[in-house]
Amino acid sequence: MRLAKHVALITGGASGIGRESALLFAAEGAAVVVCDVTDEAGEGVAAEIRSAGGRAVYLHADVSLDADCANMVRVAQSEFGKLTVLFNNAGIMIGDDGDAQTTTEDIWDRTMAVNLKGVFLGCRHGIPALREAGGGSVINTASFVALMGAATPQLAYTASKGGVLAMTRELAVVHARENIRVNALCPGPLRTKLLMDFLDTEEKRERRLVHVPMGRFGEASEMARAALFLASDDASYVNGATFTVDGGISAAYVTPE
Ligand code: NAD
């Protein structure tokens, strides 16, 4: 059991990476607080963990709201006694997000509120709890788009993920002497609801796959295994890392046919 005695809080835990991570972390011994805004699916994840003999609760928490983030950390501590793993994973990608001319101010603000401010608020409330527990691991979900630009832009999303990556590095430095590690997970394109809703035709999907050396989308479960490594003591000297799990996209100049 790689997370025995750990208590993990996962935002965006109802679907995709968050869901797979909640199931995996619980199977590895962690008590899990599953947070999301889609309550039925979130309750389902917690119920699935409990019926497999694990420990989990679901909590409605909108990461763009300070009070909800304060509450989710309080619930982790009251239900399970402490918090040692904080996975700031919730994120959105709005369909009409485009270039500097087509992205509206509303899309920009909504994207930043969830993807960037949500990570800030998670850390604002979660890091004191990790400190109280004697240390822990923070994982922030950024993206490969924090590292590379695309000619088919999603400007607000890309900028928000760049912010997550920069913030992660700084937090990693600030809290390093407190036994708190802070790392960014940078997934490549995944076969999850978030991206499949955005790439809503077969043509768009195929166009994206042209750039992936492995020639397929990643799976949420593959990100969960990377997050498990960052959460666990196996990563005891991994801090401030840009942990890229992208099928080779960021290594490629030209991809094979
Ligand atoms: P997903 O849509 O399957 O899951 C995201 C979850 O976040 C959903 O359950 C959603 O309800 C929740 N959520 C949305 N707004 C929220 C809010 N305000 N408060 C709390 N929860 C909220 O998508 P996913 O692919 O699993 O995405 C997880 C993370 O991975 C996101 O940060 C995303 O940006 C990032 N990411 C995804 C990809 C990809 O290709 N899918 C690539 C790189 C990074």
Query: Following DSSP, what letter does each residue of 11-56 receive, concatenated?
Result: ETTTSHHHHHHHHHHHHTT-EEEEEES-HHHHHHHHHHHHHTT-EE
CA–CA separation, 88 vs 28, rounded Å? 19
87 residue type, one letter = F
Spatial contact of 187 and 245, defined as CB atoms under 8 Å apart:
yes
Residue with CA at minimum distance from ligand 1 atom 5: 12
Q: Which two tokens stand for residue 209?
A: 């796959």
The length of the chain is 257
216 lies in a domain?
no
Angle at 203 between CA 199 and CA 208, to 5 degrees: 60
CATH number at residue 78: 3.40.50.720
- Per the structure, the count of domains in the chain is 1
Q: What is the mean pLDDT of residues 26-49?
A: 98
Q: Cβ contacts of residue 193 below 8 Å, gap of 6+? A: 15, 16
Atom from ligand 1 closest to the CA of residue 187: 43
Question: pLDDT by residue (tens digit) across 184-194?
Answer: 999 999 999 88
Q: Which of 9, 17, 225 to mutate to test the pocket of ligand 1 (most atoms within 8 A of CB)?
A: 17
Q: How remote is the CA of residue 121 from the centroid of ligand 1, in Å?
A: 16
91 pocket-lining for ligand 1 (C-beta < 6 Å) = yes
Phi first, then psi: give them for residue 67, nearest 5 degrees.
-65, -40
Q: Which of 10, 92, 110, 209 to mutate to test the pocket of ligand 1 (most atoms within 8 A of CB)?
A: 92
241 lies in a domain?
yes
Spatial contact of 181 and 241, defined as CB atoms under 8 Å apart:
no
169 lies in a domain?
yes
Does 157 participate in catalysis according to the annotation? Answer: yes
Confidence at 40, pLDDT banded by 50, 70, 90: very high
211 lies in a domain?
no
Widest distance between CA atoms in the chain: 54
Q: How remote is the CA of residue 44 from the centroid of ligand 1, in Å?
A: 17
Q: Which two tokens stand for residue 214?
A: 């492995």
Q: How remote is the CA of residue 78 from the centroid of ligand 1, in Å?
A: 26
Q: Which two tokens stand for residue 126?
A: 């979660």
Spatial contact of 156 and 165, defined as CB atoms under 8 Å apart:
no
122 pocket-lining for ligand 1 (C-beta < 6 Å) = no
Atom from ligand 1 closest to the CA of residue 185: 44
Q: How remote is the CA of residue 4 from the centroid of ligand 1, in Å?
A: 26
Q: What is the mean pLDDT of residues 73-81?
A: 98
196 lies in a domain?
no
What local confidence, expressed as pLDDT, does residue 151 receive? Answer: 85
What local confidence, expressed as pLDDT, does residue 111 receive? Answer: 98
Does residue 16 register a pLDDT over 90? yes
79 lies in a domain?
yes
222 pocket-lining for ligand 1 (C-beta < 6 Å) = no
pTM value surpassing 0.85:
yes
Atom from ligand 1 closest to the CA of residue 63: 19
Tell me the Ramachandran region of residue 57: left when phi exceeds 0, alpha when psi lies from -120 to 50, beta otherwise: beta
Q: Is 150 helix (H, G, I), strand (E, B) or coil?
A: coil
Give the range of the structural domain holding residue 123, as residue numbers without chain letter. Answer: 7-187+223-245
Question: pLDDT by residue (tens digit) across 129-180?
Answer: 999 999 999 999 999 999 999 888 999 999 999 999 999 999 999 999 999 9
38 lies in a domain?
yes
Q: What is the mean pLDDT of residues 13-19?
A: 98
Q: Which two tokens stand for residue 250?
A: 């960021």
205 lies in a domain?
no
